[in-house]
Chain A
């Protein structure tokens, strides 16, 4: 390293020369220049990207292949200057200085510049070049620059910056081989490391410390790059409409309405298909299981092998290794299942496994479509405009406009939403946003809403759609109201005034959207195949055992005409799940829930979509699914209370809906809240205030609906 003449930057010097293995290549650049896109292309990983400054919030590492060996590549949050202001920018500055645990000073810095916005990017470039680390400049988005007719003199720029300059496009893959080659050469000493000698601001700068860098950037950019005067006209033209105070808000609402309309209209066909497949599989499985045990040895062996292979698949999907504990658990459960009486086994297979998992998988199409559109929207550049037009509205509840961006993402899933809350500079505002984000309707609520909407208004698609609109609006209103309350009480303070870069609009990358869909779809299916499967089986056991003693069966039969159903009801009530549901009956009765719904509500605190599986199991047991391929909703609608009235009246339906809109029922979200706020205190607070609000709101809903005679 050429460190002999620069004493000033001792902290930034690598402690040892670049070694072939364990070499680290860091991607550094302004926000939104395409670092993560480049990282994904080079490493084959799939970190989140979007056309919004500040998407990457933490260091991420992967391996890239150079000519002959692999080296480590790290993707870093974007920053405007090494004078870091936010925790994310500090991550990058610390990584460059080698002051992060486990991250040595990078051996090569790849400075990712946005060619369509070069002058601005050169400011950070001058700071990074001053660190005197071996640096390569990647002129990214060269495809977009070419399309905009921007001309650059690459060799002159390279001379001026005194380092290698490689034009690349992370989107099309152009120039990536050349980049790999230059990284390889720089790492393994085939290229001389040039000394830097450009403008910096160490002495004699008064006023703005950045002024000298900006002057330098302007000069370098003027000398080496020609930007046509029409640059940015299209974005300006779109912005003239989308950023206007009233038209902007109206445009935003229409965009969201169209997206949600598409989600429901496009998803109905694939959902019916999934429903049909699971119905058929259930019916087939029911026939397949023999009426009575054929040959005990053979039966035991077959079921044991089946159970063990299910465990193998589940463990592989959940990433659980076959340790002693996990193996013992798997074998013990497989043996238990193999020893079950045939009738019980059939019920486990049909009601527990197929019914439970199928009840959730059916929502895969909606979730994929939701993520697809949110990804397109994020990639278009619209999100920064949403923050911009919402700035004034958000000020009413005491939050900055930027809080709107995580709120939009949270409509897919609260977890990325909570991560995205890092765009909010002020800690207090960030905390308030995190606390209210889970109130927004995430994709896991879709199954619940769909079920309830169908229960309430299966005859009227318009009313069913209005149930959805109402639920979304309720979620948003509750989030804004809670934010306002928090900002008025325990987390007072003025929001930080807005400064945000509005990136140029881009045609969203379809490939990126599809990749997001595949990622999120896989996560959802994996969740259904592991956690939800496990909960379903446990629930089935809790809802089946202990069994109703034969004496009670006789009692029930003698007193009733619809004998089978009555026995099933009685058996469920006698089981563990039934007892738990009854135990909490006094608490939930004012909300209009019967004890079976209570079982669903109790299990849904692990993950809210489980309520659908639970109801499928609780109500499915004792139903003859082979006869009529009854959908869950039809089954639910048939249910009656002991006095003969229907369980799911309008009042109960609305109350259940309100409860699920507002309740905090997602353990992974709680874990992320804890991580992002640094303490369980806030996660617990979130759980308590949301659940209390859900209870009170559902109570008011049920009581007023009943009073009005629904």
Chain B
């Protein structure tokens, strides 16, 4: 199963696998639904990006998006950006 971080994903719908890291910002993410098992749609990529999670729109900075690991095999996913994401994982550029 290939995984990418949200910061490398393009528009599409993904399932969240885990949120790495700790501390306040991460707890904030989880409370808003960016938490393992949830579906996350990227409505607008960029920094900050707009997501749809649990029925609401969330504005999220790319820095935090980098802590969110999602499953990139998804029917909705734009294949180009998804593969680009896999390659780019771990690098700082997009």
- Does A associate with B in a complex? yes
Q: Which residues of A contact B (CB under 8 A)?
A: 80-81, 83, 85, 117-120, 123, 207-211, 214-215, 217-218, 227, 232, 235-236, 239-240, 243, 245, 384, 387-388, 391-392, 401, 425, 496-504
Q: Cβ of A499 and Cβ of B56 under 8 Å apart?
A: no
CB distance from B45 to the nearest CB of A (A): 12
Q: Which residue of B lies closest to A384 (CB)?
A: B59
Inter-chain CA distance A17–B59, complex, in Å, is 44
Q: Cβ of A499 and Cβ of B28 under 8 Å apart?
A: yes
Inter-chain CA distance A123–B31, complex, in Å, is 9
Q: Cβ of B47 and Cβ of A240 under 8 Å apart?
A: no
Question: Could you say which residues of chain B place their CB within 8 Å of the CB of A211?
Answer: 35-37
Q: List 24 A-B contacts (CB under 8 A).
A: A85-B31, A119-B55, A120-B54, A123-B33, A209-B30, A210-B30, A210-B33, A211-B36, A214-B38, A232-B52, A235-B57, A240-B44, A243-B44, A245-B46, A391-B61, A496-B24, A498-B48, A499-B32, A500-B58, A502-B50, A502-B56, A502-B57, A502-B59, A503-B56
CB distance from B28 to the nearest CB of A (A): 5
CB distance from A629 to the nearest CB of B (A): 54
Question: Could you say which residues of chain B place their CB within 8 Å of the CB of A425?
Answer: 24, 28
Question: Could you say which residues of chain B place their CB within 8 Å of the CB of A496?
Answer: 24-25
CB distance from A147 to the nearest CB of B (A): 17
Known: A210-B30, A239-B50, A243-B50. A501 touches B36 (CB 8 A): no
Q: Cβ of B63 and Cβ of A497 under 8 Å apart?
A: yes
Question: Could you say which residues of chain A place their CB within 8 Å of the CB of B86?
Answer: none
CB distance from A247 to the nearest CB of B (A): 12
Q: Which residues of B contact A (CB under 8 A)?
A: 18-19, 24-25, 27-33, 35-38, 43-44, 46-48, 50, 52, 54-61, 63-64
Q: Cβ of A501 and Cβ of B56 under 8 Å apart?
A: yes
Inter-chain CA distance A31–B63, complex, in Å, is 24
The 6 closest A-B pairs by CB, nearest first: A497-B61, A208-B35, A502-B57, A498-B61, A80-B31, A388-B59
Question: Could you say which residues of chain A place their CB within 8 Å of the CB of B64?
Answer: 497-499
Question: Could you say which residues of chain B place their CB within 8 Å of the CB of A118?
Answer: 55
CB distance from B27 to the nearest CB of A (A): 6
Question: Could you say which residues of chain A place their CB within 8 Å of the CB of B33?
Answer: 120, 123, 210, 214
B30, B46, B57: the one within 8 Å of A501 (CB): B57
Question: Could you say which residues of chain B place their CB within 8 Å of the CB of A85?
Answer: 24, 27-28, 31
Inter-chain CA distance A211–B33, complex, in Å, is 8
Question: Could you say which residues of chain B place their CB within 8 Å of the CB of A81?
Answer: 31
Inter-chain CA distance A503–B56, complex, in Å, is 7
Most buried by B among A117, A210, A232: A210
Additional pairs, 13, CB under 8 Å, beyond known A388-B48, A388-B50: A80-B28, A80-B31, A208-B36, A208-B37, A210-B33, A214-B54, A215-B37, A227-B55, A236-B57, A245-B46, A499-B29, A501-B58, A503-B57
Q: Cβ of B44 and Cβ of A499 under 8 Å apart?
A: no
Inter-chain CA distance A120–B34, complex, in Å, is 11
Inter-chain CA distance A120–B52, complex, in Å, is 11
Q: Cβ of B36 and Cβ of A207 under 8 Å apart?
A: yes
Q: Cβ of B60 and Cβ of A499 under 8 Å apart?
A: yes
Q: Which residue of B lies closest to A498 (CB)?
A: B61
Q: Which residue of B lies closest to A212 (CB)?
A: B37
Inter-chain CA distance A80–B29, complex, in Å, is 10
Question: Could you say which residues of chain A place their CB within 8 Å of the CB of B31?
Answer: 80-81, 83, 85, 123, 210
Question: Could you say which residues of chain B place their CB within 8 Å of the CB of A391?
Answer: 48, 59, 61
Inter-chain CA distance A123–B37, complex, in Å, is 14
Q: Which residue of A lies closest to B60 (CB)?
A: A499
B25, B30, B43, B46: the one within 8 Å of A497 (CB): B25
A208, A232, A243: the one within 8 Å of B30 (CB): A208
CB distance from A117 to the nearest CB of B (A): 5
Inter-chain CA distance A499–B68, complex, in Å, is 13
Q: Which residue of B lies closest to A217 (CB)?
A: B54
Q: Cβ of B59 and Cβ of A500 under 8 Å apart?
A: yes
CB distance from B26 to the nearest CB of A (A): 10
